[in-house]
Structures are given as structure tokens and as C-alpha cells.
Structure 1
Amino acid sequence: MLPTGLLALPGVYRPQADTELLAHALAAERVRPAAEILEIGTGTGALALSAAGRGACVTAVDISWRAVTTARLNALQRRLPLRVLHGDFTTCTNGRRYDVVLANPPYVPAPNRWLPSRGAARAWDAGPDGRLVIDRICASAPALLRPGGILLMVHSAMCDADSTLERLSRARLAGQVTAWARVPWGPVLRGRRAWLQHQGFADVGEDQEELVIIRAEAL
């Protein structure tokens, strides 16, 4: 599934339960040899390298230079071809379309109205409803996918999977939730427990997060 022994520069998001869940979803797809795959927010490059190991032509994008460097080093270490680009995914793709788009975006609800511009929190903080990046991916998916192409995205149930499916439907993608997993809260959620409870994202005493896989096909 996911490659082991990955390098990670300080501040780069390491593979966690959401990465594993997305890796299982990718493994369930029939990826033809030389299929073109885009990964949005590659981090260490774990998912991109997993896809490249299956013979796919993979482009990985991240807004963090440290993540880009990390993914490139991990690709070199494994001698796998991987195109890693720095910047916003809508700019980096430059009109290209893909067979599969993978996304493990920032999705943790945060008190700040805007995405952080620096630091490790860029990998998880996503505005008051956790949807600042999710909504952009939903809106951009039709332009990123070939007809019949697949979007695989993981996010927290806190972000409202129904809203994601509704947005994808409006964008003429047929979407559904295909997998779920409950995982213990990590340090980020534990650190803002009172705020999450006050905003209605969590009940008193809650200490597990539900993750969902959204699979959407371009019509």
C-alpha cells in the first residue's frame, strides 16, 4: 500500500489515518498503465509514490516548498518517476486533465477565517467550517478530470459530506461516500476541543473523528 521509511522534513505532514484510507480507496480502483494522476497536497509524496509504483504517470502538487523537496527526495530514494510542482493546484495544472485526482486537503475547522500562509498548520487548518480547500476542489474537479475520470478525496465528517456531494453534483460529477473510518482525535483537535464544541462540531466528551472517502466520477 503506502511506501514505508519515508523522509519528512520538519513541518511536512506525515502519512496518517486519512492517508491510509485514501490509499485503500486508490488500491480499489483499476488504474491502467500510464494513467495520468494528479495528487493535490502531496506532503511526503506517499500516495503519489504508491500510484507511480503501479505504473501511473503522476503529478504531485503542494504549496509547501518543504513538502515539494521531501516528495522529490523520496521519489529519488525509490527511483520512481514523479513530477512534483510547487504552488496552487489550479495554477500548476495549467489546463491539463487527468484520469484520477487524489486529494487529502486541509479540512480541520479553525477559528481563523483564512488559510494560514505559513507553517505546519497549512496542512490541516481550513477555515471556520473546514471547507475552504474542499470547496475549491469541488469547483475545479470538472476542469481537472477527463470524461470518466475519478476524484478520490478524504475529509472529516465534521466538514459535512453531504455538502461535498451536493457541490460535486452541481459540478456535474456523480459522487458518493465509499468508505468511512473512526480514528482517535489527534493533538490538533484535542487542542481546540472547547472551540469545536462551542461551534457544534463535537459533543462534550467526544474523542473520535469520522473520516470519509468521497468518490466522484466525471460524467
Structure 2
Amino acid sequence: MTQTRFAHIQVDDGVYAPQADSWLLCQALDESDLVAGRRVVDICTGSGILAVEAALKGAREVLAYDISPAAVACASSNAERAGVAVDVRQGTLDDARRAGPFDVVVSNPPYVPSDAPLEGTGPNRAWDAGANGRVVLDQLCDLAPDLVAPGGSMLIVHSEFSDPPQTIRRLEESGFTAREVAARIVAFGPVMTSYAERLEAAGLLEPGRREEELVVIRGDRS
């Protein structure tokens, strides 16, 4: 999947720009053949790349949520530029839950281990996710039975540093069948590079290592 395919996606200041995790999740969504004719939600939409992709793949309805007003405006503009209908809303996971359930849930949530305060709607909220990187991931797993309709699916991308096996365990505890469907080792992007020394000091990263494995977990509800 080439990035030029997504020329309709433009990124405003203060909005998370599509990177390797975005491309991997888009690839997993394309290969899953889940979307056509179904109701889809993109949680933590950022630039809206996943929501727009779902609409282009023939989703019956697409909603997208982000807590950032800048992201909401950016995703709305990208959907308009792509010529597709996406209902982009400023809101939380709980807002998405109230709008559910959905046939397909996709999310590229914050997942970088960080000791930064989780407050406000600044750009860092697109990646900072608490000491273990799982503040939003755990909420997604816990809310999965409300977010995903019977027979529906969830696709979540995150890093090895936020414990993908735990995502599988938590989804299974919620009654889903869960598995890894895509993975890729990539060089650190700007955020992980800037956090590397702190992660080394915390014992979360081997000294000198500057790459990570990105993983997409799929959960299916029976």
C-alpha cells in the first residue's frame, strides 16, 4: 500500500499525521473485507484516514470520533476532499459507545507509555497513554461489547510497547475471538525517538534500540 494512494489526506497543524501505524491499519482494514454495506466507527480518528478509507470501501455509514477539535475539523475536510460522507464528531469513547453498536470498529488510539498528564486536547493526546501505554486500549477492550454489534469486528493498531497480547486477553475476556492479523517492524518515528531515552531509563527499551513492532489485533464478536 503506497502513501500516494492517500493524496486526499491533508494534515492540519496540531493533528496526528498518518504514519506507519496508520498504513498498517489501513492495510488490515482493506484485507479484512469487513466494511462494504456495514456501519463503521473510527475512534481516535485524527486526520480521518481510516474513516475516509472505510467510506471509500463502501461502508453504509461511517462515524468518526476524536477529542480534539482540530482533528474533527481536519477529518471533516479530508472526507469532503475525498468526496465521501463521514459523520465526524468531537467526543470520547463513551460518546462512541452511546452511538453504537457498530458492525466494524477501527482505532489507532494513543498507545505510547508516558508519564505526561492526560489532560486537555493538545497534540500529545494522540500518543500519550499512561505509564503502560494502555489507558485508552483498556477502555476500548472493556467497552467492546457495547461498541461492537453481534457478528461485528474490531481492529486496533498499537505497539509492542503497549502489550498487544494483553489486548487479545482482554477482548477474549469480553467474549470475543481475538488474534493478531498484521505486524510490521518499523524505525521509530518522531514521537518514539523523542521518548527513547526516557523509555530506556524506565527499562522499557533496550539501550540503543530504535525500532518497534506495530501490531493490528482483530476481535470478532459472535
Q: What TM-score results when the alignment is normalised by the length of structure 2?
A: 0.93
Cα deviation for residue 115 of structure 1 reads 1.8
Measure, in 1, the Cα distance between the counterparts of 2:113 and 2:35: 36
Q: More deviation in 127-136 or 1-10?
A: 1-10
* 1:97-125 Cα shifts (integer Å, max 9, x gaps): 1111001000000023x423231101000
- The root-mean-square deviation of aligned C-alpha atoms, in Å, is 1.4
Percentage identity across aligned positions?
39
* 1:66-99 Cα shifts (integer Å, max 9, x gaps): 1100111111122211110111022244252111
For 2:178, the equivalent position in structure 1 comes to 175
Match of 1:185 among 173, 185, 188: 188
Measure, in 1, the Cα distance between the counterparts of 2:18 and 2:99: 29
Q: More helix by proportion, 1 or 2?
A: 2
Match of 1:208 among 181, 202, 211: 211
Tell me the secondary structure at the aligned position of residue 6 of structure 2: coil
Q: Return closer, same or farther for 1:47/1:32 CA change in 2, 3 Å cut-off.
A: closer
What aligned pairs does 1:9-24 form with structure 2 within 5 A after superposition?
9-24=12-27
Structure 2 residue 29 is matched with structure 1 residue 26: yes
Structure 2 residue 67 is matched with structure 1 residue 59: no
What aligned pairs does 1:46-85 form with structure 2 within 5 A after superposition?
46-56=49-59, 57-85=61-89
Measure, in 2, the Cα distance between the counterparts of 1:14 and 1:205: 26
Cα deviation for residue 192 of structure 1 reads 2.2
Match of 1:43 among 42, 46, 49: 46
Measure, in 2, the Cα distance between the counterparts of 1:131 and 1:32: 27
Measure, in 2, the Cα distance between the counterparts of 1:155 and 1:138: 13
For 1:6, the equivalent position in structure 2 comes to 9
Measure, in 2, the Cα distance between the counterparts of 1:31 and 1:166: 22
* Aligned 8 A contact 1:12 1:67 in 2: yes
* Aligned 8 A contact 2:196 2:210 in 1: no
Moved over 6 A (4+): none
* Aligned 8 A contact 2:182 2:216 in 1: yes
Cα deviation for residue 32 of structure 1 reads 5.3
Cα deviation for residue 30 of structure 1 reads 2.1
Measure, in 2, the Cα distance between the counterparts of 1:167 and 1:122: 23
Tell me the secondary structure at the aligned position of residue 192 of structure 1: helix
Task: Letter of the 1:69 partner, please give it.
Answer: A
Matched length: 218
Measure, in 1, the Cα distance between the counterparts of 2:57 and 2:87: 15
Tell me the secondary structure at the aligned position of residue 94 of structure 1: helix
Structure 2 residue 104 is matched with structure 1 residue 104: no
* Aligned 8 A contact 1:85 1:92 in 2: no
* Aligned 8 A contact 2:104 2:152 in 1: yes
Listed as ranges, the gaps of 5+ residues in structure 1 are none
For 1:125, the equivalent position in structure 2 comes to 128
Measure, in 2, the Cα distance between the counterparts of 1:74 and 1:96: 23
Measure, in 1, the Cα distance between the counterparts of 2:201 and 2:190: 18
Cα deviation for residue 211 of structure 1 reads 0.5
* 1:11-66 Cα shifts (integer Å, max 9, x gaps): 10111000000001101122353210010011111111111012101111110001
* Aligned 8 A contact 2:110 2:125 in 1: yes
